[in-house]
Structure 1
Amino acid sequence: MSRRRLAAAGLSVLALAGCTRGVVEGGDPTASAGIPPAITVATADFPSFWLAEQIGGDAAEVETVDPAEVADTDADLFAYVPGIDPEVDAAAATLPAERVVDLSDDVSRIGSPRDVEVKDPYIWFDPVNLSTMAQTLGTAMSKANPAAFEAYQFYGLRTISVQSEALQVDQRLQEQLNPCRVATLVVEAPVLTYFARAYAFDQVPLISWEPANDPVPALYYTIDAEAAVREAAGANGAQAIGVDTLTESAPEDDLLQGLLDLGDEVARHQNCPLVTPSSSDRPG
């Protein structure tokens, strides 16, 4: 992990550390904290759902709502990542601001390669961003809970646990991907913007890729464009590799496992000679 990424991540973790003094490392991070009353959290995407469950534990009831249900939710909080679904964005704007948690609020967002005015929503493809998202949600959940002291301690400890795991995954990916000899990721849709920035790749849209000048061993696609990408891959001696955006689910219902699986795929196809143990060897 670079010093810049480590420093930024460390500040994110320390922001919630004030309520954790005297806690012994190891074991259940909330063993010494009282469990506050449960709050309800509605979510519209899997990354938000996963974070709410990890941070909330026994002190949160988490549900996923369809876009048509967002405006009518009576949950204490509605957590989401804007930009994934315009219908969700419009419905979220009708809710009271104090009940809405935009998990991208504290993340440095990147303009889409197709339109720099549109921010790329796939922020969770960088585990350091995921750590920041956890802090944003943990703070909002603490504020929303009526048992303020217990809530800040309980959610704060669980937030730090999530952040620690996210940073361990980031370190694993840094070690796995920094030696890659093929630095170009050719993608059908620019969903790997944050992943590419974090691990020193150049993301090139398939439509602007010049195979004669920049040959690559793999082309990456989302499900909707599989046929077209397989055709392009076959014509240029490359493999077509599917990318799960993780917006609806993740392997083993674990967002970090989804990132590790992606790292394995990229390492195998971008000529990364120093491949670390398989993603099944989950850190944390």
Structure 2
Amino acid sequence: MPRALLAVLLTLAVAAGCAGRASASGFSGGKLSVVTAFYPLQFLSERIGGDTVTVTNLTKPGAEPHDVELNPRQVAQVADAGLAVYLKGFQPAVDEAIGQEAKGRSFDVSSVVELQPFNADSDESGMDPHVWLDPVRFATIAEKLGERLATADPAHAADYRVRAQEVQDQLQALQQTYARSLATCERREIVTSHEAFNYLATRYGLTQVGITGISPEAEPSPRRLGEVAREARATGTTTIFFETLVSPKVAETIAREVGARTAVLDPLEGLTDPSADYFTVMRANLSALTEALGCSS
């Protein structure tokens, strides 16, 4: 978002008044006000924060987070938050709002885990943001978020640390299940609609073949479609994966070309099913992977 536009939004937010906003201390109704950039960070903040925080997610359910823009109300929520949780470099509009309005009250999760670059054969440059798809790195984020919440709200510090440890234990169990289930498979390549799964692939010895780069809405070139189809045939790929927030048409095109089927592999950038959460989706992803790759555990 251009700086001038953000300034206009901030002015409109102030003019709209303070009704329903958190207090200057970052608390509302006795609870710490936490703003999160997109779903995985919302999930962690709610699990670790428990009933002593109020969490607001800047990316609406079912929305694609890569290109999110903020309205005046959301900018005001960032300004009033006791803690803003985000991943720097993933959502420019969020980065700018936090940099201007919540710099001293923010937690950049990329500052506590090592990010990895996109694959060398990718059209993308820079660092891959999809770190939450690695349960080990996500557990580190959970630990550090617990500490950050404890700093922001010392009265409930012990509770935050206990809940953070509980989440870490659950993520460790998930990691062990993934490692065991993906240890022995007929195939190791996963063809995905966009390059969101490199952390997961690296953790478990798989190879990701992305049809598009970081943006799931990008249109692949005919050349790229041909490259993916040839690689899928060469590796005996039986499944082309697409995700829930974008059209499956490109994946279906590749699948028809190589005689494969399609299935969902969810990058967890946002949820459309209110009954699902991070763990249920990750378990569903594992089931889809083991079937597609012919794994025996």
Question: Where on the TM-score scale, by shorter chain, does this alignment land: which range?
Answer: 0.7 to 0.9
User: Mapping of 1:39-58 within 5 angstroms?
Assistant: 39-58=32-51
Which residue identity does 1:85 align to in structure 2? Q
- The answer to whether residue 54 in structure 2 is matched with residue 77 in structure 1 is no
Which residue identity does 1:258 align to in structure 2? V
Structure 1 residues 171 and 91: CA distance shift in structure 2, 3 A: same
TM-score by length of 1: 0.77
- The answer to whether residue 102 in structure 2 is matched with residue 96 in structure 1 is yes
Which residue identity does 1:262 align to in structure 2? N
- The answer to whether residue 241 in structure 2 is matched with residue 248 in structure 1 is no
Q: Which moved more, 1:131-140 or 1:65-74?
A: 65-74
**How far has the Cα of 1:250 moved from its partner?**
6.9
**How far has the Cα of 1:178 moved from its partner?**
1.2
Query: Does structure 2 retain, via aligned residues, the 8 Å contact 1:134–1:159?
Result: yes
**How far has the Cα of 1:111 moved from its partner?**
1.3
**How far has the Cα of 1:231 moved from its partner?**
1.5
TM-score by length of 2: 0.73
Structure 1 residues 56 and 212: CA distance shift in structure 2, 3 A: closer
Pick aligned residue for 2:156 from 147, 151, 157 = 151
User: Which residue of structure 2 aligns with residue 233 of structure 1?
Assistant: 255
**How far has the Cα of 1:260 moved from its partner?**
1.0
Query: Does structure 1 retain, via aligned residues, the 8 Å contact 2:32–2:52?
Result: yes
Distance in structure 2 (CA, Å) of the matches to 1:62 and 1:242: 28
Unaligned 5+ segments in structure 2 are: 1-29, 60-69, 212-223
Pick aligned residue for 2:294 from 256, 271, 274 = 271
Query: Does structure 2 retain, via aligned residues, the 8 Å contact 1:196–1:203?
Result: yes
Over the matched positions of the two proteins, sequence identity in percent amounts to 24
| Cα RMSD, aligned residues only | 1.9
Could you say which structure has the greater relative contact order, defined with CA pairs below 8 angstroms and 6 or more residues apart?
1
SS at match of 1:200: coil
User: Which residue of structure 2 aligns with residue 214 of structure 1?
Assistant: 235
- The answer to whether residue 284 in structure 2 is matched with residue 261 in structure 1 is yes
Which residue identity does 2:254 align to in structure 1? A
Distance in structure 1 (CA, Å) of the matches to 2:123 and 2:99: 23
User: Mapping of 1:167-178 within 5 angstroms?
Assistant: 167-178=172-183
SS at match of 1:167: helix
Distance in structure 2 (CA, Å) of the matches to 1:83 and 1:259: 24
